Structure 1
Amino acid sequence: MSGLGAPELRSDGKGKKVVVIATSWHTQIMDGLIAGALRELEASGCQDFSLLRVPGAFELPLAAQRAAASADAVIALGVVIQGETPHFDYVCSAATDGLTRVQLDTSVPIGFGLLTVNNEAEALARAGLSGSKEDKGKEAVQAALSMVLPKI
């Protein structure tokens, strides 16, 4: 989901167990993403949630896989800012592909809140901070909770 025209999804977290996984790089941006996710979890009625910090975006898939074993939904939050080397491409691709694999292998929804941006200004505009035009932490929670299906 991105920018203008993004839907406001129904977030029903009542009775759901959710794990928020957040990277450690770019503290100000991460603080905004985490705050947005936690606000949305509380607004959704979710009372069983926890926050797990990991070193960086590359570690998100493994942490998500472990969390998915006991959660109804996982929220993956992070930011990777373009640098001067192709490292950006490898990390973004590995994290995205890994989170997709975890979601498909476990059938546990993963809220994708990994910002992959050209510069810090783009990340700040999406971090859900005062003055940000978007709140990707909130949107990641909405997306994941809307995909939690009843157990059959």
Structure 2
Amino acid sequence: MAGHGAPSLAIDGSGARVAIVASLWHTEVMDGLIAGAQAALAEAGVTQVELVRVPGSFELPLVAQGAAVAGFDAVVALGVIIRGGTPHFEYVSAAATDGLTRVALDTGVPVGFGLLTCDDDQQALDRAGLPGSKEDKGREASEAALGAWQVLRGLVSTAP
């Protein structure tokens, strides 16, 4: 299982302003991912959370960049891409992944990667944080974004 060996992060997110940028496709899976992301943020003490919905996963990088530029401290990007019978899966997966990486590197704002790239619907459901799911990738994406934010804050506060 991919979740085996996941870290346990103790994060104080109080004071952080976080945007969750989430695709509209695959409603059931997205509802689980968003709920997991929101729960993790609430548990970390984040009170300033804005949920922004985008048409699909391809749009995640542009809107994540907009959130970063608008002053959010961290962005949680959530989406689902299910493999089909055409190369569309590879193109959208690569573009969204590369774009989200670029947003984080270009802006210095952490981006939690909650983009599921699955072979079928069941794999997505297994990762959605729903009752019966094996993993909660929405929660993990929020924890990763907040963890990186916390590390970056520490680096700034210790800089000469």
Q: Normalising by the residue count of structure 1, what TM-score does the alignment of the two structures yield?
A: 0.97
Structure 1: gaps (5+ residues): none
Matched, 1:46 2:46: yes
Aligned position for 1:117: 118
Aligned position for 2:36: 36
What amino acid does structure 1 have at the position aligned with 2:34?
A: I
Q: Distance in 2 between matches of 1:121 and 1:140?
A: 20
Matched, 1:102 2:109: no
Contact 1:11 1:141 in 2 (8 A): no
Q: Which ranges of 4 or more aligned residues in structure 1 deviate by more than 3 Å?
A: none
Q: How far does the alpha carbon of each residue in 1:8-56 deviate from its partner, in whole angstroms, 9 at most, with x for none?
A: 2223210000000000000000000000000111100000111000000
Q: How many residues align?
A: 151
Contact 1:20 1:49 in 2 (8 A): yes
Aligned position for 1:4: 4
Structure 2: gaps (5+ residues): none
Larger radius of gyration: 2
Stretch deviating more after TM superposition (121-130 or 4-13): 4-13
Q: Distance in 1 between matches of 2:85 and 2:12?
A: 42
Aligned position for 1:17: 17
Q: Distance in 1 between matches of 2:48 and 2:117?
A: 29
Where 1:85 maps in the other structure, the secondary structure is coil
Q: Distance in 1 between matches of 2:32 and 2:54?
A: 16
Q: CA deviation at 1:105?
A: 0.2
Where 1:112 maps in the other structure, the secondary structure is strand
Q: Normalising by the residue count of structure 2, what TM-score does the alignment of the two structures yield?
A: 0.92
Superposition CA RMSD, Å: 0.8
Matched, 1:134 2:138: no
Q: Distance in 1 between matches of 2:139 and 2:10?
A: 11
